[in-house]
Amino acid sequence: MRSVELLAVRELPAARERFAVRLDRVAALTAAAALVVVSACQQVAGVPPPPIPAPVPASDLWEAAAVGDIGTLETHLSRGTDLDALHPEFGIPALVAAAVGDQVAALDWLLAHGADVDARTGDGSTTLQAAAFLGNAPIARRLLDAGVDVSATNDNGQTVWQTLATDWETTNAVANLYDLSLDRRTVAAGRAAIGEMLAPHLEERAAEDIWLAASSGNIDAVRTNIERGAEVNQRNDDGATLLTVAAIFGHDVVAAVLLEAGADVNARNQQNGATALHAAAFLGHAEVVRTLLAAGADPSLASDNGGTAIAAARLDWPTTRYVAGLLQIPAGDEASVMAGKAAVVELLGAELGQ
């Protein structure tokens, strides 16, 4: 008998635990039944049941766009997330994230659900400029079809056409900063295709914008603007003249047209004192240098920091590329630029008697 009592004592805690579990289950079932009854009563009384909470997104908006996670994008939409919001760290909208991630489907989804095709990054750049920088023609095509503003500039005044002219070294350096793997030939081919897409838009705008005409080398458009009364010695916000812009981009015929129309060949930049000759020499545009010299450009003129055109031509490639990057102007490839610089040194040396 005592052994039975001892067994009963030993089993008592376990029995109590099993009983407590049963009570918990009964309580849970009772609570669930109560909720059903309350819900039914509310519906009978015309009171809607509590709303079902919206699902929590698996990732943030920008990551979802960058990897093409349409399901998570839809979740963000259902929760009222602003599709044009900028990433708190990188300052880009989801549309740019989709472009950088080469996610055409995500970009299409964003546009279809109201994302602004002209949304800007923290520095004022557009998704079209991002596509141009990366040479992503399919993304650019989608944006153009959606009515993107091809004339938009970033906070530094850079256009999509200038973005297309970014040299490979700068492109690759920026890509490495963001852990992007780019192939030089693929980027070049993509940019060429984007240039062809933009050509009709360029022609239309250049006929009314002499700055665009000069920078893009559109000779007919430059003449059209001049015939309509455009001032050939006007300056942009950086204090540069149209002649300097033509020199920067290596458009010798445009430079000749501007000079024929009365452009001042020795006009100085209002911010640094440099002339069009300085710009052409710095970037190795030998034909522009010839055109300017033939029109009376003075090779002895120095900029505000004391530099002459021949000194600019003698700068090495790393310095040239670095300065061009700071100014956000196209530098071209090393071989052609340095060959052009060597030719410029000869031209200016002969003019200066050196």
Amino acid at 297: A
Write the secondary structure of 101-156 as one string of H (helix), E (strand) and C (coil): CCCHHHHHHHHHCCCCCCCECCCCCEHHHHHHHHCCHHHHHHHHHCCCCCCCCCCC
pLDDT score recorded for residue 47: 56
pLDDT score recorded for residue 227: 96
Q: What is the pLDDT of residues 176-200, one digit of tens each?
A: 988 889 999 999 999 999 999 998 8
pLDDT score recorded for residue 38: 41
Total residue length of the chain: 354
Write the secondary structure of 28-91 as one string of H (helix), E (strand) and C (coil): HHHHHHHHHHHHHHHHHCCCCCCCCCCCCCCCCHHHHHHHCCHHHHHHHHHCCCCCCCCCCCCC
* Whether pLDDT at 7 is above 50: no
* Whether pLDDT at 123 is above 60: yes
Q: What is the pLDDT of residues 87-114, one digit of tens each?
A: 999 999 999 999 999 999 999 999 999 9
C-alpha distances (whole Å) from 181 to each of 49, 65, 91, 189 are 52, 18, 21, 16
User: Inter-axis angle of helices 127-134 and 137-145, to 10 degrees?
Assistant: 150
pLDDT score recorded for residue 232: 97
pLDDT score recorded for residue 49: 62
Which token pair is 246?
């033509």
Stated as kind and residue range, the H or E segment containing 216 is helix 210-216
More confident residue, 216 or 138: 138
pLDDT score recorded for residue 14: 52
CA-based radius of gyration for the chain:
33
Per DSSP, the three-state class of 157 is: coil
Q: What is the pLDDT of residues 329-341, one digit of tens each?
A: 777 889 999 999 9
pLDDT score recorded for residue 329: 79
> Of 186, 157, 159, whose CA–CA distance to 171 is shortest?
186
pTM: 0.63
Task: Identify the band that residue 3 occupies on the pLDDT scale cut at 50, 70 and 90.
Answer: very low
Average pLDDT, the chain: 86
Task: Identify the band that residue 205 occupies on the pLDDT scale cut at 50, 70 and 90.
Answer: confident
